Each structure stands twice: as structure tokens, then as C-alpha cells.
Amino acid sequence: MSGGVHRAVADQDYHALVRCVQDGCDVDEPHWEGDGKTPLHIAASLGNYDMIKLLCERGCDTNVRTIRGETLHLVITSKKDVFSSVDILLDYRCDGNIQENLQGQTPLHLLAKYVAGLPTYADRAVVCLRNLIESSNPRLADARGRTALHHLARSCTNLELIKDLFVCDLTARNCRGETPLHEALENDNAFDVVRLLAANSDLSIANNYGETPLHVVARKRKLSLIQYLVSMGASPNAQEVKGNTPLHLMAERGYLEGVKFLTECSLVDFNLQNNDGLTALHVAVESGFFDVVKLLLEAEACDLTLKDSDLQTALELAQQEYRRRSHPHLSVLLSDQVKRNSTTKF
């Protein structure tokens, strides 16, 4: 008898399902000959709202899990009639906090990812997400340490949806030590989203590599975000695990506009050395970026006497044989500046 229920749902034959439940079929019996799914699991996987509603009205258990630990997850991954199906299951007390077995994701994690991937954001999506937030613990993290806000911050551009998930911990860090702000920056989300997150986040929090949000945008050559984060109080002197400041990262990449902005920032310490004893000037010389070296030399605070862990000054690096051949103008530029500095002292 129960096989008829599973067959009716799998065939999406609503009238056959009605006949089965009227005949007293067990709406919760697993499909013993298959993967053990209940009729509700099958209907949810198909995104068939009418069948889901009928099974709920007939008293099915909305919290029976699949072998992968899924319940409400199924209607979201079906990507069909998602919002109506989520709402009806919540109305029938489906637990929004159940974490599936493979990645530890809750229905809220999945709905956040689904909504973030939509080309437009209808009011229906906003209402559904809010309903699920109210019915679950939005602070739960998946197996990779991501909250629902981490998922939304990656690509969602709807500021209202982002704000709704501020009930999450904005300092929560994923397995790479990244906050939702880090996620937004690493995935090149819209400026308005970054601005909203940054205004409500601790800009000094670093990921597992010691990178603050300012390091990330310096590495990714995002001038407008560099300017914004510095204006919000992000430290340009923070050092990641290798001792590099944002200025080191931009000098290494020859990012002239970013270096120029920081050279005009009164808070910048040009002489911070990384774990190899390299200043930003050393790094620019090593990378062969003439214009960046020239710009750094224009900063009076730039100390040309500092030596790296190999006891080399920036000038001595420039005078190494292979570098003199590949970038001959660097040696001349630095040598002239050293002479000017010597003359100025006397």
C-alpha cells in the first residue's frame, strides 16, 4: 500500500496521492526498497508544493531526516517553488536548525546561498528568509565555519537581506579565519555591501594568514575600498603572518595608485620590515617597479639605510648584477637619492 504513495509522489500524480491518503496509506513510511526516503522527502526533492501541503495536512512528520540528514534542505536544493514550500514546512514545525551530515549546513545556510544567487530579489525572498531566521538559530556555523551571513556576503547585493542577518556574529570566522567582511572582499561583492559590513565590523580582525580586510583589498588592487577602509580606521600598518603590511603587498604588485594613496596617509610607517627584514622599498626594488620605488623615495620618512635579513639595503639590492642588467635605472635612482640624503645631512 505504501509503495503506491511513493510511486504517486515520484510520478507527481496529485490525484493518485489523494486516493492513497484517503485509503489510509502511511504517509511517513520510508521507501524500503530504495533510499529510505519518505513521501515528504520525495515531494520536497521535486519541489512539488501541492503534494508537500497535502502530506503536511495529513499529519506527516516534517522532521524525519534522510540518510544524509536532510529535511527542509530538500525543498531549497530543488530550486522549485522554494519560498512557498519553506513557509508551509515551517508552519508545520519543521526544525530550521537541523544540520545535514556532509557539510553541516542548516536550511538557513542553503536558503542564504540560494537567495544570493538570484538575479533579482523579490519581496517574497525577503519574507521567506526572515521567516527562516526567526525559526532558527542564525549563528550556527557549517562544517567550514561559515554562518548564513558568510554565504550571503559572498555575492548577495540586497542590503536589506544582509541587514536581516546582522543577528549573526559579524566577528564569526570560518575555517580560514575569515569574517563575513573578508568573504565579501575575497569574492568581489558590491561596494555598497562592503561598506555596510565594514561599518558594522571590527576592521582589525585578521584571517588565518594574518590578513586584515585592508590587506585583502591591497592584494586585490581595489583603490576605492582601500580609501574607504582607511577612512573607517583600518590600520595601514597591520602586518600579516609574513610581516607584510598593505604597503608591502601593493609595492610587490606594482600597484602605483594604491601606493600613492598610502604615501599621502600620515599614519603609514614606511619603514616597517617583514619577517625577511624587507621594507616596502626593498620589496618594490626586488620586484623591479621603478615608478613605485620613485614614489616611495619621495616620502621623506623612507629610510634608505635599513637592511634586510641578508644585511642588504635597498640600494645594495638594486646593485646586484642580475638586477642591474634587468632594471639598470633602479640602481641610478637609489644611488642618486642616497647621495642627496648624504648632502642634506651636512
Domains defined along the chain, listed by start: 1-78 (1.25.40.20)
Q: What was the pLDDT predicted at 303? A: 95
Amino acid at 297: L
All cell numbers assigned to 75 = 525543498
d(CA 39, CA 31) in angstroms, rounded, equals 8
pLDDT at residue 122, as a whole number: 74
What one-character DSSP code corresponds to residue 83? H
* Core vs surface per residue 149-179: b (16+ CB within 10 A) or e: bbbbbbbbebeebbebbeebebebbbeeebb
- Evaluate whether 284 touches 250 at the Cβ level (below 8 Å): no
pLDDT value at residue 327: 87
CA 164 to chain centre: 17
Q: What was the pLDDT predicted at 1?
A: 41
Are 263 and 255 within 8 A, CB to CB? no
Position 120 scores a pLDDT of 77
Give the CA radius of gyration of the chain.
29
| pLDDT under 50: residue ranges of the chain | 1, 346
How much is the pTM? 0.90
The residue type found at 250 is M
329 near 319, Cβ under 8 Å? Answer: no
The pLDDT, as a whole number, for residue 274 is: 99
Query: Are 113 and 76 contacting, i.e. CB atoms less than 8 angstroms apart?
Result: no
